[in-house]
Structures are given as structure tokens and as C-alpha cells.
A and B are shown apart, each in its own frame.
Chain A
Amino acid sequence: MLTLFELQKKFTENLKNQDMEIYSFIQHNKHMSPKKQLAIYQDSILSAMQQALTRIYPVCKKLVGEAFFNYIINHYIIIHPSFSPDLNNYGAGFSEYLKDIETMATLCYLADVANFEWSWHSLYQQITDKKFDFDKLRFYENQAKNIIFKLPRSAILLQSIYPIYHIFLINQKENEDDQSIFLQPNQQYFYIIWRNDLGRQISSLNKVEWIILTWMQDKLSLGEMSEKLMDLNHEINLNIIIPQMICCGFIVDIAINN
């Protein structure tokens, strides 16, 4: 007789690598061998994880086709177990995994699209922040240089050399438009995505806006950003660009950097 620990160990070893030791501890059923009975669990576990990845990465699936997508995710599932009780957290490393697949070279943008889809998916379980309180600006008027700006807690800044949002959009189910995209050499694309009320928001950014937002994420004060900006681009005026960012919802709060 196995202890409960030994039984769970052998059971899960069978789930992972078809280890047969557990078979002798399972009752024979009139219709199914222990192998077939265990296969019901293997199929169910695989199916749950396949469905999770298919739900999170619909555009990747469309780009590579169902058969190849299933082939990729089955391999991914084998080498990447789930370590969270919440299946919504499964698949975070799929983008990195795609980068390492040599046959993906012809679909060079796929890993970045996957990263976009994961970020987009993860927003669903994020917090919505309150709207910016303009009274706070007046309150900190005399300490302007020390102000730090807070992005929505859900905000994710993305960059890619491929137009990943465009690729994402034209591969939505309902989109019947021309699906051609011409990849431009030496281009860079920048985005911010965040949760707003009950919806998900995305905005394309130019490079300077993206840099400023990354500084804000790094908690640089207004004074520090002004200095750094002098080296980067003399034409950008933070007094203009920051109110615009507040109006767009990129900034939701301020504080004083002590």
C-alpha cells in the first residue's frame, strides 16, 4: 500500500511522463485498463491548458494556423507546468518560448505579437485606477520639481520593431479588411496599454513619449526628467506633454519624491 504522498507522486509522474508504476495501484475496470482510465485525466488536464492558451493567444493561432499552433502549445505545455491555482496566470512565458523556436524565423514578429496578447490578456484581471485629481497639482505647486507622476497600476509599456497592434487588429475575428502589412525596416513601434473602468485601453506613442513614460515608471521626478530631456530633445516641453498625458489617462496620480 502506498502512502498518500507516494500515491500522489506516482500519479503525477504518470501525468507528466506516462510513468507506469501507478498502474498496479489502480483497480481494473470492466471496460478500461488503468492506462485508459489515467488517460482521461491526462486528456482533461491537457485540454484545460490548451483552452487557456488558445483563449489568450487567438492572434498567434490565426497567424500560424490551428494545426501548427496546437503542435506548439502541446510542446509548451509539456515543458512549462502551471504553478498557479488560477489558470488565467498560465502562459506568461509563451512569447519567450516562441523566440527560441528556430522554425519561427519566417514569422519573426510572432513572439512580439504573443507578448502583446499576453499583456492584453493580463489587463483583464488588473485594477482600474481613479481618475486624476487636478486639485493635487495645485497642492504641490510649490514643489513642482519634486513631483513624480504615477501611471495606472495596470499600465504596460511595449515596444517592438513590428507593428504588433496593427497585426493584432487586422487579425480580430470580425475584421474582413485587407490583411496586408508591409514591414518597414528600421521602424520602431511604441505602445501603452492599461485598464480603464471596465475596458482595456491602448494608445500608440512616439519614442519620446515612450521614454518619458518609462522614466515615470522608474519614479523620476519632474526636475530629473527635465534635465534628462535637455540631453535628449530640446523641442519637447514637459509643460505641454504632461497635461496631454493626463488627459489621455496615461497618468492617474502624482506624489512628492522625498
Chain B
Amino acid sequence: MDIKGVGLGLRSAHYSDILKENPAIPWFEVLADNYLIKGSPNLSYLEKIRQNYPLTLHCIGMSLGSMDPLNFNYLKKIKKLIKIVEPVLISDHLSWTSFNKQYFHELLPLPFTEEAIFHVAKRIRQVQDFLEQKIMIENISSYLCFKQSQLTEWAFLKEIADQADCFILLDINNIYVNAYNHQLNALNYIKSLDTNRIAQFHLAGFENKGYYLLDTHGASFSSDVLKLFQQAIKKFGALPTVIEWDSHIPIFSRLLEEVQIAQTIMDQYANII
């Protein structure tokens, strides 16, 4: 199955809109962690929505960068969900969320080092072997950099994807947030990321806290992020794109307007080289 165009992050607040109106959205991205219990109401809704739409699964619990052993109980649940909804693609973040069995429920940053590349790539390969398919890894927003980093963020991302033989889910908003937070050039990130492993884009909104941008997924994407999106499409093509909201989630009709905006940009810039 193939997906194209601009999809939406599925949120429970919109189940009834989707089931009633069957909107013209090419696919939905699902937060996998909310659907891991067989027979639960969330999963019942998801199965109904799946009848009409392709899905991608977005995970937050793999903790790919952690020094803890992989949580195979969690991965078993993900594998069961994969069998139920047959997603087009599965993703998690290039980060760590746990240490010493404690979960922090936050995407924590990695140092861009050879050791981290080796460690994370090995774990991604283990996850892919277990799930019997390639996954996508997403670049995260971060609020600090480690002195010991030896590579740029984009080189780190590319190297891990190459060593793990996985796809990249390129979050355009996160590039913009990191460029602001670490005084980098966001456009340079896109220009320098030399890979054909990108399978999907993310768009979302941030909150300006003055000295830094906070990746909240609680606002519309900014015009600067859309400019970066244009450049990403020009370079990597009109890859499937998801609009994410996690807080202050608006009514569904407003999300449809955002889809339209992003789709128009995609159509405009897809053929510009």
C-alpha cells in the first residue's frame, strides 16, 4: 500500500468527525501507544477508521537511544497492533526516554558521537528484526547540545539511518526549533542532509518562549516552518506529510484547512528543482 499527500495525526477528539464525515484525508498517523490494549475502546475506534483509511504508526516508547535493554514487552504489543491495523510505516524518535527502567515521558537528546551511532543503529536493527520490517526514525526538538558531540545533527541522523538501514521521518518543525535554539541555519540543515532515506515529513507548531522555542504541537505551523517545508519538498520530493497536534487540539474543520494549506505547498513545489 502506498500513501501520498498530506495526512493528519489521529486524535480521539476527532473520532466522531472522521467516522461520520469520512473526510478526504489520504491517511492518518496514529500514536501507537494509545492503542496497545486489545478490546479497548480506542482500538475499536481505530479499527473502524482503518476500514476507510491507511494508517502509519508513530511510537514514543521504544527508547531507541537508551542504555537500558530494549523493552520487548512494549515491542510485543506494537507487533500485535501492527497485525491488527497493518500500517504502511512505523516510526519512533531518535532519542532516549528511559534510564535504569525509569521512564521520563520526554524525548531526551543524544550526544552526536560514534558510540551513540553504533549503539542506536544496533538497537534499531534489533527492533526491525523483531517487528520484521523497517522503521522510520524521527529527528527530535532539543534544548541543549553536548560538548562531546563530534558530528552535526544531520550527519548523525544520516549515519544512524545508514548503519541501521532504516527510513527517516524528517520533522520540519523540529529542524526549525533546533536551529533557533542552537543558533544554526535551518536551511543549511536541509541542504546538508544528503540522503534518500527520508520517507515522510512532519509539520507541527511550537511556542516561542523568548530565549528558546518549545516544541508543543499546540499551535499552527509557522510561516517560517512552511518556508522550510517548501525547501524540503524541493530537495526530497513530495513525500507523505503529517500535521501533528498534541495540545490545544482544534476542531476538525480547522485541521482540514491546515491540510489544504500544506497540500497546496506540496503541489506547488513538488516539481520545482
Contact = CB atoms under 8 A, between A and B. Distances in A.
A256 to B, nearest CB: 25
A87 B105 contact: yes
A45 B105 CA distance: 6
Contact of A198 (B44, B143, B183): B44
Contacts of B39: 126-128
A126 B119 CA distance: 36
Contact of A8 (B66, B71, B113): B66
Interface string A1-44: 11111011101100100000000111101111010111011001
Contact of A31 (B61, B66, B102, B212): B212
A30 B232 CA distance: 28
A27 B145 contact: yes
A172 interface: no
A231 to B, nearest CB: 38
B33 A86 contact: yes
Which interface class (under 10, 10 to 19, 20 to 34, 35 or more) fits B?
35 or more
A244 interface: no
A124 interface: yes
Contact of A85 (B44, B61, B115): B61
Nearest to B44: A198
Counting chain A CB atoms within 10 Å of each CB, which of B37, B44, B61, B106 scores highest? B106
A217 to B, nearest CB: 19
Counting chain B CB atoms within 10 Å of each CB, which of A4, A30, A31, A38 scores highest? A4
Nearest to B148: A1
B143 A41 contact: yes
Contact of A9 (B40, B99, B115, B146): B99
A32 B101 contact: no
A44 B182 contact: no
B148 A40 contact: no
A124 B40 contact: yes
A84 B181 CA distance: 30
Contacts of A25: 146-148
A48 B247 CA distance: 12
Contacts of B110: 4
Contacts of B188: none
B106 A12 contact: no
A1 B227 CA distance: 38
A28 B103 CA distance: 27
B40 A5 contact: no
Contacts of A2: 111, 148
Contacts of A125: 37, 40, 42
Contact of A27 (B119, B144, B214): B144
B99 to A, nearest CB: 5
Contacts of A7: 111, 146, 148
B185 to A, nearest CB: 15
Contacts of A37: 143-144
A3 B115 contact: yes
A203 interface: no
A12 B102 contact: yes
B47 to A, nearest CB: 12
A82 B105 contact: yes
B37 A126 contact: yes
A81 interface: yes
A85 B111 contact: no
8 contacts: A4-B115, A9-B100, A25-B148, A40-B212, A81-B102, A82-B103, A87-B105, A195-B41
Interface of B: 33, 36-42, 44, 60-61, 63, 66-67, 71, 74, 96-106, 108, 110-111, 113, 115-116, 119, 143-148, 181-183, 211-212, 214
Interface of A: 1-5, 7-9, 11-12, 15, 24-27, 29-32, 34, 36-38, 40-41, 44-45, 48-49, 81-87, 90, 124-128, 195, 198
Given A15-B104, A81-B103, A82-B102, 11 more contacts: A1-B113, A12-B104, A26-B144, A26-B145, A29-B181, A41-B108, A41-B143, A83-B102, A126-B39, A128-B39, A198-B41
